Amino acid sequence: MNHDLLHTPIEYLKGVGPARAELLKKELSVFTFKDLLFHFPFRYIDRTKFHTIRDINSEAFHIQLKGKITHIQTVGEGRKKRLTATLQDETGSIELVWFKGIKWVKPQLVPGKTFIVYGKPTLFNNRYNIAHPELEEWNNQPIEQHKKFQAVYHTTEKLSAKGLHSKGIAKLIGNLLPQLKYNDIPENLSSPILSQFKFPSRYETILNLHQPQCAEKLKQARMRYKFEELFFLQLQLIRQKLVVTEKMPGFVFEHVGEYFNRFYKEFLPFELTGAQKRVIKEIRHDVKSGKHMNRLIQGDVGSGKTIVALLSALLAIDNGYQVALMAPTEILATQHFEGLKQLTEGLGINIALLTGSTKTAQRKQIDEQLQSGELNLLIGTHALIEDKVKFKNLGLAIIDEQHRFGVAQRAKLWAKKSPDIKNPQQKHSPHILVMTATPIPRTLAMTVYGDLDVSVIDELPPGRKPVKTVHYFDNKRLAVFGFIEKEIAKGRQVYIVYPLIEESEKLDYKDLTDGYESITRRFPPPKYQVSIVHGKQKPEEKDFEMQRFVKGETQIMVATTVIEVGVNVPNASIMIIESAQRFGLSQLHQLRGRVGRGAEQSYCILMTDYKLTEDAKIRMETMCRTTDGFEIAEVDLKLRGPGDIQGTAQSGMLAFKIADIIKDAKILQTARSIAKSVLESDPDLLSPVNAPIRTFMQKHHQKSFWSKIS
Ligand code: ADP
Ligand code: MG
């Protein structure tokens, strides 16, 4: 076994040398033989078929011919110079033409020699010819040996300039593969898995990914490699869930007590939907199980997640524990605080709000009450966790609108165990309930949230009318203003939202203030009052403006996306989104979710200029067509690719070489269920049959995950 072959620095490969090595490192991060070996083709050219010259009847496709060179000629001078050669097979002849590189090609073209020629025919003067075909001398082997799939590799301009275009890379790979022994590529799947799916060995897979022997072998190799990528990710996630999370002890909330029951019977302002009841049951089941809860609630905007959070909080409080509720913005935290205070008025629980703008004296009081246990529920931004806030006995942490927290922050929360809440009484990590309004397609959820249990609120409270959505170009603005006027006359309120993108903050700010001015001109005081909220305001200012709108003192709210998340003003029935083309689908959906919360018919008006990219057109069209968050999420995923969704890119989780979680959703499901059954029967992968999996895991995946395996 040549142990070090794969770790050999790339400059030692035949055909590389120092200059190319530098470029390979810089451009493709290829440092070693191994890096090159795992630089797979991104597509293949099917060169398994041969044509005869007589059959050529279309300019549409590349074709492959085998024939003899019979006649070579150079015509013209200078820039008009060209080289032609006649290729002849049993059925006829065709002309091959070169305008460039003549001095390289000409010496190869020996009359009477047989060549394999590949290129795209063009019709010229009523005859087909092929310009700049690929040439390969026939080595007198049976034609079968020339039937192949030609790999196409990603490369860059700089590499191409040094001869490392796709073919150049293929040539390097061709220098590397013959040195590769079976043992250089240890198997990483168990034999039961290999035989169940009739997968080729890992060694054979890698050879075939670069130099496929035939269509069937290529298919098998790709299938196996995709499976492998998805399998190891799922193995990691499921192990986290099965072994780490599920075995992790948690607080037991044994009984449903006074607070929960009284609230349910006497305070609840409406009947819960079936979906809400189901999710509460799922949570209740988790928190009395003795295990640590890690649950995600997915529910479209307006599906009523807040009340589920409150009922869960009451369960914890009933059992003597404290609860933290975290929101991504101060506005939202404040709104939760006021909303929940109002809902629980008279119930006798102690709720406080802690944000960046809480005054020192107030803060001191909160700290004292937290540590004495007097305070039951603390609401705030994520400062709650990062600020070394000390609880007496934090039993449940609820994170609302999780998409603003991002995967990385969530991981941080988990890692903290008993976070910065250092307290001997804090035996376990608090139960964790994450709530998100960004629906994620099932396949993606499985991948991104594979370590969480997922509950779905898939039912809206009764009586909701779907929001009517239209897309107008800017020239309709006057008509839109007229419409606003009529709705306000009926007593409704209006949001007008402007984009805020950090790179062009100044411009956006100007758009916003210009917009505000023209709105106040069209809707002047004292008859009309307009609120304005944006990121540059002080928290008190924001809060003041927000409150005026919430109380109905202002009819119009001009804002940037700070109002995107969570804000609840049921009387608002129009959402106007300016420069809507600059918003992503999930953001548009979130914004639209701010209206349609009351009994009235609501409207969402998307305003754009005329210049729309194809992508933007699809976004507008999708918004007008559906209000189904899951459907929107699917389109979003297709437009943007999984990498951009929910900060998954940073997580590195979806960095697959071949697998594609959308297209390969079926393989993903299979991989997941196999990973599950492997871990269920052998959680630490100690059985000899799983040794290949275990060895690979230990080598390639985060140590921490497998630290329990010694
Ligand atoms: P989201 O899931 O977007 O956070 P909220 O919890 O803010 O939604 O609820 C949206 C609105 O629906 C609120 O006004 C809330 O009082 C109301 N609501 C929630 N559940 C129900 C229900 N079962 N029946 C009627 N209205 C409900
Ligand atoms: Mg909410």
What are the phi and psi torsion angles at 135 (to 5°)?
-120, 140
Alpha carbon of 362 to ligand 1 centroid (Å): 30
Rounded distance between C-alpha atoms, residue 106 and residue 82, angstroms:
11
pLDDT for residue 645 is more than 50: no
DSSP per-residue string spanning 581-607:
GGS-HHHHHHHHTTSS-SSS--EEEEE
Helix (H, G, I), strand (E, B) or coil at 47: strand
Q: Does the Cβ of 544 fall within 6 Å of ligand 1?
A: no
Give 212's DSSP letter: -
pLDDT for residue 320 is more than 90: yes
Alpha carbon of 304 to ligand 1 centroid (Å): 3
Q: Which atom of ligand 1 is nearest to the CA of 463?
A: 25
Alpha carbon of 183 to ligand 2 centroid (Å): 55
Q: What is the mean pLDDT of residues 19-23?
A: 94
End-to-end CA distance of the chain: 27
**Which residues sit opposite 379 in a β-bridge?**
325, 353
pLDDT digits (tens, 9 = 90+) for 489-524: 999 999 999 987 555 667 777 788 889 999 999 999
Q: What is the mean pLDDT of residues 315-336?
A: 90
Q: What is the mean pLDDT of residues 342-364?
A: 92
Ligand lying nearest the CA atom of residue 339 = 1
What are the phi and psi torsion angles at 123 (to 5°)?
-90, 125
Q: Best substitution site from 400, 403, 597, 600 to test ligand 1's pocket, by max atoms within 8 Å of Cβ? A: 597
Q: Tokens at residue 432, please? A: 């964790």
Alpha carbon of 299 to ligand 2 centroid (Å): 9
Alpha carbon of 46 to ligand 1 centroid (Å): 56
Q: Does the Cβ of 599 fall within 6 Å of ligand 1?
A: no
- Are 259 and 317 contacting, i.e. CB atoms less than 8 angstroms apart? yes
Q: Does domain 49-142 have CATH number 2.40.160.10?
A: no
Arithmetic mean of pLDDT over the chain: 86
**CATH 3.40.50.300 placement within the chain:** 258-457, 468-626
Show the CA angle centred on residue 90, arms to residues 88 and 95, nearest 5°: 20
Q: Does the Cβ of 438 fall within 6 Å of ligand 1?
A: no
Helix (H, G, I), strand (E, B) or coil at 511: helix
Output the residue whose Cα is nearest ligand 1's atom 17. 304
Q: Does the Cβ of 598 fall within 6 Å of ligand 1?
A: no
Q: Does the Cβ of 647 fall within 6 Å of ligand 1?
A: no
- Are 567 and 610 contacting, i.e. CB atoms less than 8 angstroms apart? no
pLDDT band at 437 (very low <50, low <70, confident <90, very high): confident
Query: What pLDDT is attached to residue 448?
Result: 64
Output the residue whose Cα is nearest ligand 1's atom 19. 304
Rounded distance between C-alpha atoms, residue 369 and residue 390, angstroms:
10
Q: Which atom of ligand 1 is nearest to the CA of 272?
A: 23
Alpha carbon of 567 to ligand 2 centroid (Å): 7
Output the residue whose Cα is nearest ligand 1's atom 5. 304
pLDDT band at 132 (very low <50, low <70, confident <90, very high): very high
Query: What pLDDT is attached to residue 25?
Result: 95
Output the residue whose Cα is nearest ligand 1's atom 4. 305
Rounded distance between C-alpha atoms, residue 127 and residue 94, angstroms:
8
pLDDT digits (tens, 9 = 90+) for 178-221: 999 999 999 999 999 999 999 999 999 999 999 998 889 999 99
113 exposed, middle or buried (CB, 10 Å; 0-12, 13-18, 19+)? exposed
Query: What pLDDT is attached to residue 243?
Result: 67
Rounded distance between C-alpha atoms, residue 478 and residue 482, angstroms:
6
Q: What is the mean pLDDT of residues 656-679?
A: 87
- Are 85 and 92 contacting, i.e. CB atoms less than 8 angstroms apart? no
Rounded distance between C-alpha atoms, residue 583 and residue 251, angstroms:
42
Q: Which atom of ligand 1 is nearest to the CA of 309?
A: 6
Rounded distance between C-alpha atoms, residue 111 and residue 88, angstroms:
11
Output the residue whose Cα is nearest ligand 1's atom 22. 461
pLDDT for residue 640 is more than 50: yes
- Are 132 and 115 contacting, i.e. CB atoms less than 8 angstroms apart? no
Q: Does the Cβ of 590 fall within 6 Å of ligand 1?
A: no
Ion ligand 2: residues, CB within 5 A, are 566
The two beta strands, 82-89 and 121-124, are unpaired
Q: Which atom of ligand 1 is nearest to the CA of 271?
A: 23
Q: Does domain 468-626 have CATH number 3.90.1150.10?
A: no
How many CB atoms are closer than 10 A to CB 226? Answer: 21
Contacts of 399 (CB under 8 A, 6+ apart): 326, 405, 410, 413, 432, 433, 434, 435
pLDDT digits (tens, 9 = 90+) for 678-702: 999 998 899 999 999 999 988 876 5
Q: Which atom of ligand 1 is nearest to the CA of 306?
A: 6
pLDDT band at 588 (very low <50, low <70, confident <90, very high): very high
* Most confident residue range from 497-511, 555-569, 599-613: 599-613
Alpha carbon of 303 to ligand 1 centroid (Å): 6
Alpha carbon of 568 to ligand 1 centroid (Å): 9
pLDDT band at 446 (very low <50, low <70, confident <90, very high): low
pLDDT digits (tens, 9 = 90+) for 265-285: 999 999 999 999 999 999 999
Q: Does the Cβ of 437 fall within 6 Å of ligand 1?
A: yes
Provide CATH code, domain 258-457: 3.40.50.300
Query: What pLDDT is attached to residue 427?
Result: 66
Q: Does the Cβ of 304 fall within 6 Å of ligand 1?
A: yes
pLDDT digits (tens, 9 = 90+) for 539-560: 788 888 888 998 999 999 999 8
Instruction: Tell me, yes or no, if the pTM score tops 0.75.
Output: no
> In 3D, which of 280, 276, 306 has the Cα closest to residue 401?
306
What are the phi and psi torsion angles at 389 (to 5°)?
-75, 135
Q: Does the Cβ of 336 fall within 6 Å of ligand 1?
A: no
- Are 568 and 336 contacting, i.e. CB atoms less than 8 angstroms apart? no
Q: Which atom of ligand 1 is nearest to the CA of 303?
A: 2
Query: What pLDDT is attached to residue 450?
Result: 66
Alpha carbon of 462 to ligand 2 centroid (Å): 17
- Are 88 and 126 contacting, i.e. CB atoms less than 8 angstroms apart? no
Alpha carbon of 570 to ligand 1 centroid (Å): 10
Q: Does the Cβ of 302 fall within 6 Å of ligand 1?
A: yes
Is cis: bond before 526, omega within 30 of 0? yes
User: What's 363-416 look like in SS3?
Assistant: HHHHHHHHHHCCCCEEEECCHHHHCCCCCCCEEEEEEECHHHCHHHHHHHHHHC
Q: Does the Cβ of 299 fall within 6 Å of ligand 1?
A: yes
pLDDT digits (tens, 9 = 90+) for 48-103: 889 999 989 888 788 999 999 999 999 888 888 899 999 999 999 999 999 988 88
Query: What pLDDT is attached to residue 69?
Result: 94
**CATH 2.40.50.140 placement within the chain:** 49-142
- For residues 459 and 625, the model is more confident at 625
Query: What pLDDT is attached to residue 709?
Result: 34
- Are 565 and 328 contacting, i.e. CB atoms less than 8 angstroms apart? yes
Query: What pLDDT is attached to residue 665?
Result: 79
Q: Does the Cβ of 568 fall within 6 Å of ligand 1?
A: yes
- For residues 430 and 351, the model is more confident at 351
Query: What pLDDT is attached to residue 708?
Result: 39
pLDDT for residue 420 is more than 80: no
Output the residue whose Cα is nearest ligand 1's atom 16. 304
